Amino acid sequence: MAKKAKKKSKKVVKAKAASRKPAKKVAKKATKPAAKKAVKKASAAKSAAPKMSNKPYGKDGKALDGVKILDFTHVQSGPTCTQLLAWFGADVIKVERPGVGDITRGQLVDVKGADSLYFTMLNHNKRSITIDSKHPQGKRVLDELIKHCDVLVENFAPGALDRMGLTWEYIHKMNPRMIVASVKGFGPGPYEDCKVYENVAQCTGGSASTTGFRDGPPLVTGAQIGDSGTGLHLALGIVSALYQRNRTGRGQKVLCAMQDGVLNLCRVKLRDQQRLKAGPLREFSQFGQNIPFGEATPRAGNDSGGGQPGWILKCKGWENDPNAYIYFITQAPVWEPICDLIGEPGWKTDPEYATPPARLPKLMAIFARIEEWTKTMTKLEVMEACNAHDIPVGPILSMKEIAEDQSLRATGTVVEVDHPTRGKYLTVGNPIKMSDSISEVTRSPLLGEHTDEILSSVLKFKASEIAEIKNSGALTPPPKKEKAA
């Protein structure tokens, strides 16, 4: 390594010296050798590239095979990230507190004595080891894991990792190639020390203030954009850091703040904030209702976030079924077939309706007319009728309908998994499909299920060392204190 670094610095000096020479001379001298060098470089790159696999697609391992993850995550944001990496083939070793484990194992329990769905659905394809990270022998095992792994992922409260003694400096000294990836609630700034859960992030990242109806309170959304959204962001950061490490040989810190992740998903709302300076937001239905805009992007109700007006409309059965609704978009290019379908062919040419600007002030009345039509059919019948004319619509699918949808089962987006203590359950599989890295979903680990396997086969501790570590109490819950008589 040191020799290589020396050679490199010599080259840099040479290049700098050359740049001081008059441009013409340098160009003349450099043309031929430079061209030769480029050819050499290209052929070197070609020979450095792995030979193309001749195995069938999907049969030559997985994208992240060989990547080892020390998974120090809990609850939802971090586990979402490491579960994705596991689906892409990484060996994810989840470190959990002895006796307790990830707190979600025991939250929202539906089968007594079994890990909750909250836990199982976020921790597939992982191995579990129990370690008391504050015990000296626990620290010894963690040190070995740090040396062994490529990435440490954590989403503890700010400062918790440092309090365990696992500072960036400590980790980096022990394993300079390690990538340390963290989810925190906020980035550096006034709130950096705060603990944060999903809805805190939705509220501080701009989602809640722009969700809900204008005349109602801010709303949080069911999509876990703070937790799962940030986990997704972190996974991309980790994969990018691994890619960069191929070139630099060193690890780096990757930080995703939940506030930042939510804001990234609310990008269009910050767009609208700036558009307010240029006048009212004409695609919002409040514009058509002559309701003045305030200083900030308002809540949009069911208005579409893009330039195409949309709204949620009732369908047949709405009186009894809370999900008998459809999202209807009056996209300009399909305005004519919409008019024909709903029985208003005159609107195609009537100047009051024929153009998008003419329609904007009376959107709610237009949607009321379309709803008269959608109410005559079920949401799926409306979808069929509209799709025949390329009119985009979105039936409101309930979780029951999604769970029963056979096409989602066929693609592995909804998967049935068997679990030794809770039996069969449904989960969401890998939503990212790759043709040469096929994901299989395997059940989540029981607490500490792989402790022995990891100590012996992965970290190669001798039997006597394993006995010493075990006897120290570093891998088991502390004995219960006897009650005073």
**How does DSSP assign 153-196, residue by residue?**
EE-PSTTHHHHTT--HHHHHHH-TT-EEEEEESS-SSTTTT---
SS3 sequence, 426-468?
EEECCCCCCCCCCCCCCCCCCCCCCHHHHHHHHCCCCHHHHHH
Residue 239 belongs to what H/E stretch?
helix 227-248
Residue 227 annotated in active site: yes
Backbone angles phi, psi at 120, to 5 degrees: -60, -35
Residue 45 belongs to what H/E stretch?
helix 23-48
Q: How far is CA 327 from the centre of its chain?
A: 25
Cβ(116)–Cβ(264) below 8 Å: no
Q: Which of 37, 134, 250, 267 binds ligand CAO (CB under 6 A)?
A: 134
Closer CB to ligand CAO, 184 or 422, in the complex = 184
Closer CB to ligand CAO, 71 or 272, in the complex = 71
Q: Which of 183, 208, 339, 415 binds ligand CAO (CB under 6 A)?
A: 183
* Closest separation in Å from C-beta 455 to ligand CAO: 15
Considering CB under 6 A, how many residues would be counted as binding ligand CAO?
24
Q: Which of 137, 155, 331, 439 binds ligand CAO (CB under 6 A)?
A: 155
> Interface with ligand CAO by CB under 6 A: which range of 14-22, 36-44, 152-160, 342-350?
152-160
Q: Which of 118, 119, 156, 325 binds ligand CAO (CB under 6 A)?
A: 156
Q: Does 93 bind ligand CAO (CB under 6 A)?
A: no
- Give the strand pairing for 151-154 and 179-184: parallel
Q: Which of 120, 133, 285, 439 binds ligand CAO (CB under 6 A)?
A: 133
* Closest separation in Å from C-beta 167 to ligand CAO: 13
CA-closest candidate to residue 123, choices 144, 150, 145, 103: 103
Q: Which of 63, 109, 164, 354 binds ligand CAO (CB under 6 A)?
A: 164
Which 227-266 residues touch ligand CAO, going by CB under 6 A?
Answer: 227
Task: Name residue, tokens 């925190």.
Answer: 184
Q: Does 71 bind ligand CAO (CB under 6 A)?
A: no
> Interface with ligand CAO by CB under 6 A: which range of 40-48, 159-167, 243-251, 453-461?
159-167
DSSP 8-state assignment for residue 266: T
Closer CB to ligand CAO, 256 or 441, in the complex = 256
Q: How far is CA 30 from the centre of its chain?
A: 48
**How does DSSP assign 94-149, residue by residue?**
EEE-TTT-SGGGGSS-SSTTS--HHHHTT-TTEEEEE--TTSHHHHHHHHHHHHH-
Q: Does 131 bind ligand CAO (CB under 6 A)?
A: yes
Closer CB to ligand CAO, 76 or 123, in the complex = 76
Q: Which of 64, 67, 69, 76 binds ligand CAO (CB under 6 A)?
A: 76
- In this chain, which residue has its C-beta nearest to ligand CAO? 157
Q: Which of 227, 272, 418, 452 is catalytic?
A: 227
b/e code 442-474 from CB counts within 10 Å (16+ = b):
ebbbebbbbbeebbeebbebeeebbeebeeeeb
Structure tokens at 336: 């004519």
Which 184-223 residues touch ligand CAO, going by CB under 6 A?
Answer: 184-185, 195-198
Residues of the shown chain interacting with ligand CAO in the complex, contacts defined by CB under 6 A: 75-78, 95, 97, 131-134, 155-157, 160, 163-164, 183-185, 195-198, 227
Q: Which residues are catalytic?
A: 227
